[in-house]
Amino acid sequence: MKEVVLITGANGMVAQELYKKLEKEYSVRFLTRKKQRDNDFEWDIKNGTIDESAFENVAHIIHLAGANISEKRWTDERKKELISSRVDSARLLLDTLKKKNIKLKSFISASGINYYGTITTEKIYTEGDEPGNDFLSEVVVLWEKSADDFKEQNLAERVVKIRTAVVLSEKEGALKKMLPTINLGIGSPLGSGKQYMPWIHVNDICSIYEFALKNSHIEGAYNANSPQHTTNENLTKKIAEVVKKPLFMPNVPSFVLKLIFGELADALLEGSRASSQKIQNAGFQFEFPDLKTALEDLLNKK
């Protein structure tokens, strides 16, 4: 009998790639707003409704749901949505487990590397460091608190929080957004370009979730970013190098990004390094620790 794993954020890139890794060994179900497959179950976070049959014999929940941080300007309404999509969704899961008197083996939650704040500094952050004091770190702190509630309320034997960096994939996300201008020869670093940009190959982030699921000694917060650090400027240049395009354009000035994106621009213009030593010490090995190798794998697929 396969253990049941329930995954939220069903339509996201990570959820779909993770499914490929888990489907042979686990019975995987998805929570989604609109059922499309046999293993989909519907929920509506705003209205607080959920198909409780998704929880039958569930052993693990991997909570990936959360509105895209960089998709829209951060209006007051959008800020509430960014928090609600993470916190209220977790609360709906928690309330359902409580109602059905279910205790999970593990609750594994996405989290953000922005926990440490949106700031460019020479410090390399570890999981023991304090959170930052800006909006993104506030989102992550609330996000992680909603995950910790599962352990505190005895609804999960363990809770794992995966502080995720920028996920590199040719299918969606930052890399896909950067490619069109770089392919046209007009790609540019953002602002000074010196801001650090923690990153991880999509295969590695999915492998970290699989590793956390299969290893019961994994508990608490883990930084999920490649051990090789890079800046926005270096990432831009490496992409151009891999796709064999020149870079002629000057950096995009900070004020232009602030005009376009408002407060969200801070997340693009600032960034620090984080250490992934803790997850490596726990036994995880990165398949793509090197940026150029990671980009070649993603961009040179036939």
Q: Which long-range contacts (CB under 8 A, 24 or more apart) does 148-153 make?
A: 149/90, 149/91, 149/94, 150/90, 150/94, 150/97, 150/104, 150/107, 151/107, 153/94, 153/98
Which domains are assigned to the chain? 3-165+202-225+274-287 (3.40.50.720)
Strand ranges in the chain using DSSP code E only, listed in sequence order: 3-7, 26-32, 40-44, 49-50, 58-63, 106-112, 124-125, 159-164, 166-168, 199-201, 220-224, 273-274
Q: Is the pTM of this model over 0.75?
A: yes
Using DSSP, state whether 224 is helix, strand or coil. Answer: strand
pLDDT of residue 166: 92
pLDDT at 300: 85
Give the per-residue pLDDT at 151. 97
Predicted confidence at residue 39, as pLDDT, reads 92
Low-confidence ranges of the chain (pLDDT < 70): 253, 255, 257, 259-260, 269, 301-302
| 250-279 tens-digit pLDDT | 787 676 767 667 777 777 768 899 999 999
Whole-number pLDDT of residue 301: 67
